[in-house]
Chains A and B, each alone.
Chain A
């Protein structure tokens, strides 16, 4: 592979360059894609959170968003389609010191990986799951997803989607997630703040980040690259603590954004240690006291 020389001190660097594998740039994301913006919000949050980045791991599945693991300069795992969460579960249980961020797309996390998502949330597995929701399967050229709006066109719903999409925050909440938020890639500060909060919070945190896919979704749904951003701006209703059952995405009426859930309950590891490994719990207490 061609080595790209590291920029000299005189050249301006991006403030997040130290968290990027610059030797892997250019990335694969299309012009107009929002994944890079969500990714950069995630990196800014990681940096701003003050957590030990040496002990921080990013795990992705397959798809456009799944490529994030390949660009972040942390320990990073690009796993199989839909399996980022169970892989991350193994990592966390093997070494509870690790901070786990799962960064993947809607198809990966909620169609093929849906079963893993609901169970990790139920267990309150200590990890932050960031879902870039671009409403379709982008990597494979724009097929219908579990998040595609009803009647929207895709290559596999050529006349319109006959199905109903998931309300992701509702599902996360119903399954037991202790932190649930939704933003768009246009709401970059709120998104960064939410990711920071989620990373610092114990338990299963879920953040949905709406993001345009002009090449594969917009093109088939009469949306020019900026149209989706305009919708994000005009139709966004920020309503923290909104009832999760009201969060269906409706581009006509409005898209409710905000932090919806922030509660505490014991994590899987806390419960496991309490019931099965009390000796480990005592060690932790004595470490805290010393």
Chain B
């Protein structure tokens, strides 16, 4: 056995840092399938998991990988998978099962250009709406976007903690650029890392209801083999887990799986800012594009443009309040993202027509240069 937390200073890629973050969070099962640019996460887990008495398996496809991590989670183990666009599409079916059955797990999407096979080796941020709505039906999801290898280490831990606390799949929406870039990553001592595990039920096993919400809207979760005779189904089910094909049960179940997120937004949503306090123009960005935006904001300030950056760390649930508050005091927004305006439309929606919202987007394949953001800041306002 080797330590799960490799305390020290490293020069590490985002993909490897993600795997190390998962191990530090207590992940002990990885079901994977190779895909550029996420393969390195699986490769790292294949090496490292047996060191910590965990298990790695390369499944036959991403559908199976996603199914396996749900099974492992009900087996009582923290589990994850990692993929890119085409695999993310295949995982949508069982991400829905994870949401419906309130199963904690973490799914990493190292985004590349799409649609279809797209640009396997070039980055994009164009799966952001798929992350929100990709599986059929209404639901809430948690998705986060790291901006550096160091941050992906920490956010992967946060992703596990949130998934365990709120019992749902949590998505890390990173990109090829972060995944493949090497930077300094500091892994702290194990005792400094806060990890959360799903609460276990107490009391009589025959009366336990695996979907009866607790105080924070979430039910405690036993594992298979613990004597609860669980029944878990992707059909609409009551608090006991039994399928009930009724309008009322559908409404109750939907309330459970959406309100546990909607009522805990302050606990879930994370944002960061740069020179935003006195800003007249708010640049809204996330992931690798937030770094572009930060450079652009610094440059704009030199030119006398009072720009500031709101960096979205949590993308879903969308930080609506933060945008709405800014809409009351700034002259306008500029959204910066490597797609044709997915989060841009969310910013527009929350700005509510009070101020203009501009997009600096790119169809994918390369990082957005800060000059294009500066140009927009100069010309649009």
Cβ of B277 within 8 Å of any chain A Cβ, yes or no, is no
Q: How far is the CA of A75 from the CA of B10 in the complex (A)?
A: 44
Contact with B along A44-83 (1 / 0, CB 8 A): 0000000000110101000000000110011111111001
Count the A-B residue pairs with Cβ separation under 8 angstroms: how many?
A: 151
Q: Which A residues lie at the B interface, using CB under 8 A?
A: 1, 21, 23-24, 54-55, 57, 59, 69-70, 73-80, 83, 85-95, 97-98, 115-116, 118-119, 268, 272, 276-277, 279-280
The answer to whether B67 touches A90, judged by C-beta atoms less than 8 angstroms apart, is yes
Residue in A69, A70, A86 whose CB lies within 8 Å of B71: A86
B50 touches A78 (CB 8 A): no
Residues of B within 8 A of A (CB): 1, 28-29, 31, 50, 53, 55-57, 59-61, 63-65, 67-77, 79, 93-94, 96-97, 223-225, 227-235, 238, 240, 242-244
With known contacts A57-B224, A77-B74, A94-B72, A86–B67 Cβ distance under 8 A: yes
Residues on A with C-beta less than 8 A from B61 are 115
CB of A95 within 8 A of CB of B231, answer no
Chain B residue numbers with a CB within 8 Å of A115 are: 60-61, 64
A95 touches B77 (CB 8 A): yes
- Contact B67–A80 (Cβ < 8 Å): yes
Shortest CB–CB separation between residue A235 and chain B, in angstroms? Answer: 35
Q: CA–CA, A276 to B47, complex, Å? A: 9
- Given the complex, which residues of B lie within 8 Å of A276, measured CB to CB? 50, 56
What are 15 of the A-B contact pairs (CB < 8 Å)?
Answer: A1-B238, A78-B234, A79-B97, A86-B71, A87-B71, A90-B71, A91-B74, A91-B75, A93-B29, A94-B71, A95-B76, A98-B75, A115-B60, A119-B64, A280-B53
| B57 in contact with A89 (CB, 8 Å) | yes
Say what secondary structure dominates the interface of chain B: mixed
Known contacts A78-B232, A94-B79; decide if A88 and B60 are in contact (CB<8 Å): no
- List, in ascending order, chain B residues with CB within 8 A of A116's CB: 60, 63-64, 67
| Cβ-defined contact, B94 with A93, below 8 A | no
- From known contacts A21-B231, A75-B225, infer whether A94 and B67 are also in contact, taking CB-CB under 8 Å: no
A177 to chain B, nearest CB (A): 16
In whole angstroms, how far apart are the Cα atoms of A45 and B75 in the complex?
A: 24
Q: A78-B234, A83-B93, A89-B71 provided; 17 other pairs, C-beta below 8 A? A: A1-B242, A54-B227, A57-B224, A73-B229, A77-B233, A78-B231, A80-B96, A86-B63, A86-B65, A91-B72, A93-B55, A93-B57, A94-B75, A95-B77, A115-B60, A119-B59, A277-B53
Task: State whether B31 touches A90 (Cβ < 8 A).
Answer: yes
Report Cα–Cα, A245/B328, bound state, in Å: 74
CA distance A76 to B60 in the complex (A): 24
Query: Which residue in A83, A94, A98 is a CB contact (below 8 Å) of B94?
Result: A83
Query: Separation in Å of the B72 CB from the closest CB of chain A?
Result: 4
| Alpha-carbon separation in the docked complex, A1 to B231 (Å) | 15
| Alpha-carbon separation in the docked complex, A77 to B67 (Å) | 12
Residue of B nearest to A83 (CB): B67
With A80-B67, A91-B72, A279-B53 given, is the CB distance from A70 to B242 under 8 Å? yes
Give the residue of B227, B231, B234 whose beta carbon is less than 8 angstroms from that of A80. B234
- Whole-angstrom CA separation of A280 from B52 in the bound complex: 11
Distance, CA A227 to CA B314, complexed state (A):
61
Residue of B nearest to A57 (CB): B224
By the criterion CB–CB under 8 Å, are A87 and B231 in contact?
Answer: no
The answer to whether B93 touches A272, judged by C-beta atoms less than 8 angstroms apart, is no
Known: A93-B29, A94-B79. A277 touches B50 (CB 8 A): yes
Minimum C-beta distance from B93 to chain A (A): 6
Given A55-B225, A75-B225, are A91 and B71 neighbors across the interface (CB < 8 Å)? yes
A90 to B67, CA, bound (A): 7
Q: Do residues B67 and A87 form an inter-chain contact, with CB atoms below 8 A?
A: yes
Residue of A nearest to B47 (CB): A276
Please give, as numbers and ranges, the residues of chain B lying within 8 Å of A119 by CB-CB distance. 59-60, 64
